[in-house]
Amino acid sequence: MDPSGAHPPAPEPLSTAERQEYERLRRLATMRHRRARNVTASVLLVLTFLLAPLAVVAAWVNSQISDTDRYVRTIAPVATAPSVRNALTDRLTARVVDKVDFRAITDALGRALARTDAPSAVVDKTSLLTGPLKNAMTTAVRTVVNKVVTSDQFAEAWNIANRRAHAAVVKTLTGEGNSAVQAKGDTIVLDIGTLVDNVKKRLVDEGYEKAAAIPDVDRTVPLFTTDKLDKAQSLMRLLDVVGTWLPVTTLALAAIAVWTAPSHRIALMAAAIGTGVMMIALLVALAVMRRVYLDSVPTNVLPADAARTIYDAFVRFLRVSTRTVLVTAMITAVAGYLYGPGRGARFVRSVTARGTGAGGRALAHAGVRTGSTGRWLETHRAWTTGAVIAGGAVALVLWNYPTAACVALVLGIVVVVLALLGILAAASGVTPGTESAPPRTGDQIRRTT
């Protein structure tokens, strides 16, 4: 109002042309805003897809380095694998037998026989005992070594040694520290010095005094050789640093992408499907790396079956984590579809609603009515459903190293809880759509009659 007290003039109504121009500009601004949101969400989703495999690998590396129990569970199967036991038995047996000079033994035997005036034919034939003597010695030593390697005490000692030498992972992946698994130049080796000492003592106790002469050098078993070890260690050190934050960052990017997109449901499905594809790619990459690893290990250094066992044991939990993320992504994509307008989704929701409704009505007819609680559940169905799903997601996040079976278990519990809530809502004893109908007056009743 101006000082004179007069009211300001009312704005003139827009003409038809002006209103059309206004609507056009409004639609253009809306399209630009929507396009900007789509571009932002797309960029964030691409970043999520690229970081997802790295996040899984980084979390695996971090767990192997920081969690001793996890590392021991990773390495434990190596000690009990028949292929690895056979390889260790062959290597230790060869080292013991190679220290014995069988030619000297047969020569000494020949000289002893000559001093006893044994026939020259017998003395000359003593050199032929070299082969049989070596074979007999190899068989006897192998039997003793095999008893050591296949004993329960060896498996227990293996786990204790790996627990005490957990720095092996730090040494292998970052090149820092001292442990049983070490990086020497371009080769990753396993130090079996403790095992050699135990075998030497056992052989000496069995009467093989030559076993005490096993040298302290060459007490390692090469695992694999690569000329890219320095680069791999640099990458692993980086993954170790970001191992904690990279998974969180990836989840945050996915959440922001879903929130930014105009269609949250479509963006959620896209994030789940893309992440699932990247997990499949990671599993394929692990299979390819397995083939590369096996090709890099000469069979005269480590038998192929033992090399396979070592690789499979080392990446076992990485495969488990990858499969867990893949299953979670698949479930998320299916859930996003079931909340959509598709014919299949509507059919599933309809069947579910009819089933829970029938169960609730059956309870109500049996006298088990939920009353106001059921009506509250029916009114706040969207909130209760979201709370149950969020609870399942939090359970998976807090679960220590969940597997695909854990994801399936949590999904089953969520489905059961949602079904029970639907039944309780339907058991309120009030027919849906009539709980808020006002009571009819006497005049209304007379008019209807």
Question: Can you tell me the distance from the alpha carbon of 419 to that of 256, in angstroms, rounded to the nearest whole number?
Answer: 30
Number of residues that make up the chain: 449
* HEC sequence for the chain: CCCCCCCCCCCCCCCHHHHHHHHHHHHHHHHHHHHHHHHHHHHHHHHHHHHHHHHHHHHHHHHHHHCHHHHHHHHHHHHHCHHHHHHHHHHHHHHHHHCCCHHHHHHHHHHHHHHCCCCHHHHHHHHHHHHHHHHHHHHHHHHHHHHHHCCHHHHHHHHHHHHHCCHHHHHHHHCCCCCCEEEECCEEEEECHHHHHHHHHHHHHCCCHHHHHCCCCCCEEEEEECCCHHHHHHHHHHHHHCCCHHHHHHHHHHHHHHHHCCCHHHHHHHHHHHHHHHHHHHHHHHHHHHHHHHHHCCCCCCCHHHHHHHHHHHCHHHHHHHHHHHHHHHHHHHHHHHCCCCHHHHHHHHHHHHHHHHHHHHHHHCCCCCHHHHHHHHHCHHHHHHHHHHHHHHHHHHCCCCCHHHHHHHHHHHHHHHHHHHHHHHCCCCCCCCCCCCCCCHHHHHHHC
| Six-digit token string for 266 | 């479509």
Percent above pLDDT 70 for the chain: 66
Does pLDDT of 40 surpass 60?
A: yes
Q: Are 65 and 170 in contact (CB under 8 A)?
A: yes
Q: Are 183 and 171 in contact (CB under 8 A)?
A: yes
Does pLDDT of 444 surpass 50?
A: no
Which sign, positive or negative, has the C-alpha torsion 219, 225, 230, 234? negative
Pick left, alpha or beta for residue 342 (phi over 0 → left; psi -120 to 50 → alpha; otherwise beta). Answer: beta
Burial bucket for residue 40 (CB in 10 Å: 0-12, 13-18, 19+): middle
Q: pLDDT, tens digit, for every residue of 352-403? A: 888 888 888 888 888 888 888 888 988 888 899 889 988 998 898 888 888 8
Q: How confident is the model at residue 252 (pLDDT cuts 50, 70, 90)?
A: very high
Residue entry with tokens 């038995």: 89
Q: pLDDT, tens digit, for every residue of 391-408? A: 998 898 888 888 889 999
Percent above pLDDT 90 for the chain: 18
Closest CA to 324 of 412, 407, 411, 409: 407
pLDDT at 441: 47
Mean predicted lDDT score pLDDT of the chain:
76
Rounded alpha-carbon distances, angstroms, from residue 118 to 121, 123, 278: 8, 7, 79
Q: pLDDT, tens digit, for every residue of 95-147? A: 777 777 777 777 777 777 667 766 766 666 666 767 777 777 778 777 877 78
Does pLDDT of 61 surpass 70?
A: yes
Closest CA to 78 of 147, 149, 142: 149
Does pLDDT of 11 surpass 90?
A: no
Q: How confident is the model at residue 82 (pLDDT cuts 50, 70, 90)?
A: confident
Residue entry with tokens 């190899």: 138
